[in-house]
């Protein structure tokens, strides 16, 4: 006999009234019904529950929740919240939408499973499944309530969210509205962003019908970015919970920094504080260029070591999906104040050096130049550009030019033994492929071929985006007054998702490869290193 079945009618009524007034306890009840287990306590869940309760209590009708993947947002907002709406008003209508039809089907299926459970039926006897409306796309109640689970690009005609009734009677949940791969396409982003205004809003029963967008950030101009920068007249209550928590996370000052940096105009931050205690422990670590107290948002899900490792491996994914702060895409990736310079190399204690190169096979005026760089990594983990050479050479001359550059740098100085480079990293593509083959054959250059495998995180711009946090933190420095300085800065500042403003990206590729070598070794977006 279950706990619920042992209760008499009065006790069930008391429990019902309590659950209808408290979404957190309602969610715990549904989780137990769905899984037979208790919902794990996580401190940021309290923040989520409080935010969602604002929607239920009609203190908010437009909300954006940004949180890392697999953090429980779909469970709470796209499964338990629609159920809660029906518990409050079985005739209410809800629309669940997102890019992933499989996830939508799972949400609808879980809702149906909970509604079919004997314990749920005992507490909420008025929430009865309509057998004529029990598909995963269209689930209904015997009180004319309907839940539609429709992909974002699916047909919305005749579908509605909310009801012309008092109180919380349905809602619209927009859950991860765009595919990660599509987020890099301006056309796909515009399609989704425009659909919000011309289709999704028109499905709401009234202006007060709650609409909540829950998603991991994917792009500066994804739906969240679009709306928070005034893409709609709506102003959104905004809850952002990042993957790496600092003591000031959730404060007004913390939100203000993002609002200023990203130009958000239509948001009202939902403030919160996650103190150190039973469920949260801060530790000192290097983060964003300085030692500070940091903690994982949920160490059981992803520990701090894993998160900081992701920062090194794939900074764009880390800052977008796990921090809610997409960098670069949709705008110039860098600003001039990120460029840090030095006067004399003697300022640094060089731990090791290496070379990189991005090469072209022709010296025609319209072609890209070949660029080679000499780098040092300091004991305090700064990446120092020591020297560079830029030019346009045909392949026979190019082979000799790169070989000569290696010989010039590959000199042992007993006074500075760490200046002897550990290798020459050359892209294994086009003319670079030919150079690598030649040097591996004749042994004149300690070449390290850099693969270009064409995967999602190995396109030119994604690689370059991985350098931005290091520029921002001051961890990359360039020699002031070098003959190539102005050329290199111009190219670096010109990088965007639309291509390079200078028409070239060879300098940017050198920096991306150097960051990979200096900060992430063999893991930085590449399948393997020789």
Q: What is the pLDDT of residue 80?
A: 94
What is residue 352's three-state secondary structure?
Answer: strand
Q: What is the pLDDT of residues 441-489, one digit of tens each?
A: 999 999 999 887 654 455 677 788 888 889 988 999 999 989 999 889 8
Q: What is the pLDDT of residues 492-515, one digit of tens each?
A: 887 766 566 566 788 999 999 999
Q: What is the pLDDT of residues 176-207, one digit of tens each?
A: 888 887 877 778 888 889 888 888 888 888 88
Q: What is the C-alpha separation between 94 and 96, in angstroms, rounded?
A: 7
pLDDT bin (cut points 50, 70, 90) of residue 104 is confident
pTM reported for the whole predicted model? 0.69
Number of residues written out for the chain: 530
In Å, what is the CA distance from 347 to each residue of 128, 205, 385, 480, 488?
74, 66, 13, 13, 22
- Say which range, 180-194, 216-230, 382-396, has the weakest mean pLDDT: 180-194
Q: What is the pLDDT of residue 81?
A: 93
Are 251 and 218 in contact by the 8 Å Cβ rule? The answer is: no
pLDDT bin (cut points 50, 70, 90) of residue 363 is low
Q: What is the pLDDT of residues 396-415, one digit of tens each?
A: 899 999 999 999 999 999 98
Mean pLDDT on 144-159:
83
Q: How many CB atoms lie within 10 A of CB 142?
A: 15
Q: How many CB atoms lie within 10 A of CB 75?
A: 18
Q: What is the pLDDT of residue 442?
A: 93
Domains annotated for the chain, with CATH where assigned, are: 4-237 (3.40.50.300), 336-523 (3.30.420.240)
Are 493 and 335 in contact by the 8 Å Cβ rule? The answer is: yes
Q: What is the pLDDT of residue 1?
A: 59
Are 488 and 478 in contact by the 8 Å Cβ rule? The answer is: yes
Q: What is the pLDDT of residue 166?
A: 78
Q: What is the pLDDT of residue 502?
A: 65
Query: Please, what is the average pLDDT of the chain?
Result: 86
Q: What is the pLDDT of residue 525?
A: 41
């Amino acid at each position: 006999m279950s706990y619920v079945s042992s209760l008499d009618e009065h006790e069930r009524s008391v429990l019902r009234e309590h659950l209808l007034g408290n979404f957190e306890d309602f969610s715990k009840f549904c989780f137990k019904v769905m899984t037979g287990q208790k919902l794990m306590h996580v401190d940021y869940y309290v923040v989520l529950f409080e935010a969602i309760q604002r929607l239920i209590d009609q203190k908010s009708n437009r909300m954006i929740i940004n949180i890392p993947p697999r953090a429980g947002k779909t469970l709470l907002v796209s499964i338990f919240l629609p159920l809660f709406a029906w518990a409050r008003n079985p005739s209410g209508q809800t629309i669940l939408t997102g890019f992933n039809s499989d996830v939508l089907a799972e949400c609808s299926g879980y809702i149906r499973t909970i509604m079919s459970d004997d314990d749920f039926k005992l507490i909420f006897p008025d929430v009865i499944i309509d057998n004529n409306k029990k598909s995963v796309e269209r689930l209904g109640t015997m009180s004319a309530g309907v839940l539609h689970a429709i992909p974002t690009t699916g047909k919305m005609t005749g579908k509605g969210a909310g009801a012309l009734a008092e109180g919380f009677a349905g809602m619209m949940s927009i859950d991860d509205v765009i595919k990660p791969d599509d987020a890099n396409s301006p056309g796909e982003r515009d399609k989704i962003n425009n659909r919000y205004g011309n289709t999704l809003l028109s499905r709401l029963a009234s202006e007060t019908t709650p609409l909540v967008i829950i998603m991991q950030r994917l792009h500066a101009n994804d739906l969240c970015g679009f709306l928070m920068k005034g893409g709609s007249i709506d102003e959104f209550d905004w809850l952002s919970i990042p993957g790496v928590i600092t003591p000031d996370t959730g404060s007004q000052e913390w939100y203000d920094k993002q609002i200023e940096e990203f130009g958000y105009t239509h948001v009202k931050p939902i403030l919160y504080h996650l103190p150190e205690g039973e469920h949260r422990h801060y530790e000192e670590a290097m983060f964003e260029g300085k030692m500070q107290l940091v903690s994982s948002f949920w160490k059981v899900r992803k520990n701090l070591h894993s998160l900081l490792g992701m920062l090194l491996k794939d900074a764009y994914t880390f800052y977008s999906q796990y921090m809610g702060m997409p960098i670069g895409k949709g705008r110039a990736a860098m600003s001039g104040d990120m460029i840090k310079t030095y006067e004399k190399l003697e300022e640094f204690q060089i731990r090791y050096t290496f070379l990189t190169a991005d090469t072209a096979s022709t010296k025609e005026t319209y072609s890209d130049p070949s660029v080679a760089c000499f780098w040092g990594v300091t004991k305090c983990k700064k990446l120092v550009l020591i020297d560079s050479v830029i030019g346009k050479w045909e392949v026979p001359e190019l082979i000799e030019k790169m070989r000569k550059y290696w010989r010039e740098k590959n000199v042992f100085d007993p006074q500075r033994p760490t200046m002897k480079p550990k290798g020459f990293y050359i892209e294994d593509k086009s003319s670079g492929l030919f150079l690598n083959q030649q040097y591996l054959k004749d042994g004149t250059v300690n070449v390290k071929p850099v693969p270009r495998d064409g995967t999602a995180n190995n396109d030119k711009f994604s690689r370059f985006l991985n350098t931005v946090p290091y520029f921002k933190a001051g961890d990359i420095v360039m020699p002031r007054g070098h003959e190539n300085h102005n050329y290199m800065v111009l190219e670096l500042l010109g990088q965007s998702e639309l291509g390079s403003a200078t028409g070239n990206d060879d300098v940017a590729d050198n920096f991306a490869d150097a960051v990979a070598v200096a900060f992430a070794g063999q893991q930085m977006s590449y399948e393997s290193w020789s």
